[in-house]
Copies of this chain bind each other. A is one copy, B any other.
């Protein structure tokens, strides 16, 4: 982040007509955005929400409450404007990009093989990077992929340790038998890939999925372009978990839009060193919590830009 812009934004916050610190995280958000945009007065005129969709080979094991065909049906719904993310992206003033990644070709079943070969994983990373253009002032990421809380739990357990059960939750709503199947499938995958190289790329391609690798690619490209990113729920955070376990500073340009009701998310946010902006019991994915958080970020920037200073307003700043 730009040190001069950070300092200028902090100085401005101290002069605005309010007790110091009284806008809480809104002040921190304004300073964070200033640092990454490289300007004392950050704005969101060009923001994008990128939603990546992929299918997973392991869903044959019965780990989701919905059939795999729903991934493609929901992409059609996104394109027709009928999903939650359509309403939320509109409400937040974000350009919505939907990227469906080879939906007719699910990843390999990670209990028997790496989910992706190297070329497939690189192609997905590249597809993610491709939606991040230099003009953007903020990027939010999201996903659609029936079964992908299972991949997210596997990535989290491989990256940060802990028992599989601690990382597993109901996802879209599986019952307790489904939960037990999730745990078993993930334990099998972790055992299979146990002695694989511990690099972030290997973890991502073996245990991730195309939509998950695309998110990682988008977050990395945004970092290169110094574009602030708003992460969504458990899956978007798991997408960067393999890298964050090795390079914790990868989250420096990221905000956690919300804390999902999926139980692994709060644990993962702690490992990533991120404190969520919202906690509203959401667990939809689709980038829904990230897009919602943009309204809070916009409000933070509005106060930062529009408020008068004590001097401008002629208000006494202390007893």
Contact = CB atoms under 8 A, between A and B. Distances in A.
Interface of A: 16-26, 64-67, 69-70, 73-74, 76-77, 80-84, 86-88, 90-92, 172-173, 261, 277-284, 288, 292, 295-296, 298-299, 302-303, 305-308, 312-316, 318-319
Nearest to A304: B87
Number of copies: 2
B288 A23 contact: yes
A142 to B, nearest CB: 13
A81 B308 CA distance: 8
A34 to B, nearest CB: 16
B282 A87 contact: no
Contact of A299 (B26, B279, B295, B306): B295
A191 to B, nearest CB: 27
Given A80-B308, A82-B17, A308-B77, A69 B302 contact: no
Contacts of A92: 299
B282 A66 contact: no
Nearest to A171: B19
Given A25-B280, A307-B84, A64 B302 contact: no
A313 B84 CA distance: 12
A305 B91 CA distance: 12
A88 B306 CA distance: 10
Contact of A90 (B25, B64, B172, B302): B302
B279 A77 contact: no
Contacts of A319: 64-67
A284 B83 contact: no
Contacts of A25: 280-282
27 contacts: A18-B83, A18-B84, A19-B284, A20-B173, A21-B281, A22-B173, A22-B284, A23-B84, A23-B288, A24-B261, A24-B283, A25-B281, A26-B280, A64-B319, A65-B319, A66-B316, A66-B319, A67-B316, A67-B319, A70-B315, A77-B308, A87-B299, A88-B299, A88-B303, A90-B306, A91-B298, A91-B302
Contacts of A279: 279
Given A76-B313, A299-B292, A319-B67, A307 B26 contact: no
B22 A283 contact: yes
Nearest to A309: B82
A87 B313 contact: no
A151 B20 CA distance: 22
